[in-house]
Amino acid sequence: MVSICSMDRATFLHRIFSRRYGEEVADSLIKGFHESTRRQQEHAWRAFQDWIRSRPITILSLLLLLQFIRWLRFQKNFVSQTIASYKSASALWIKEATSLDLSDPHFTLLLKSLFLEKPPQRFPEIRWNLTKVLQFLR
């Protein structure tokens, strides 16, 4: 886990890709992300690093990744949509590093459970009368 905590996501992925496919292919694979995607993935990566630093973990497992998702909800107070976004942003490096697939039904079930526990807030629809507003502004 030391290596996960000591480098950024791109460096970590590049190291894995280089071992599997060589430097040139690794360079191309890393460049395949849009800037906005890289930023989103970095947020998820940093959250995972924060979580992992506080635990004596040596091997990532399905259980640990499920615990990480719960940590995002109950410690970071993220809503289920944000957690789903972090899950998507983490899928590639988790699969490359551990062979765990985040499309596993356990992840889906946990996300559904978190959604049902705290559904998104519905904001009331604001209704107003344009004629009244224009009359008031005169």
Please tell me the predicted confidence (pLDDT) of residue 122: 79
CA dihedral 5, 10, 11, 12 (to 10 degrees): 50
Decide if 89 contacts 44 (C-beta within 8 A): yes
Query: How high is the pLDDT of residue 73?
Result: 94
Residue 2 has pLDDT above 50, yes or no: no
For tokens 């209704």, the residue is 127
pLDDT reported for residue 1? 45
CA distances in angstroms from 37 to 33, 70, 79, 81, listed in the order given: 6, 23, 20, 16
Q: Give the structural domain span for 98.
A: 2-137
pTM greater than the 0.85 cutoff: no
pLDDT tens digits, 4-59: 778 888 899 999 999 999 999 999 998 888 888 888 899 999 999 989 888 887 78
The set of residues, in sequence order, having a beta carbon less than 8 Å from that of 76 and lying 6+ positions away, is: 47
Count Cβ atoms within 10 A of the Cβ of residue 133 and give its class: 0-12 exposed, 13-18 middle, 19 or more buried. Answer: exposed
pLDDT at 128 over 90: no
Cα–Cα dist 123/38, whole Å: 31
- Tokens read off for 137: 């502004």
pLDDT of amino acid 110: 95
Digit-coded pLDDT (tens) for 69-125: 999 999 999 999 999 999 998 988 888 888 888 888 999 999 999 999 888 777 777
As for how many domains the chain has, the answer is 1
The Cα 26–Cα 14 span in angstroms is 6
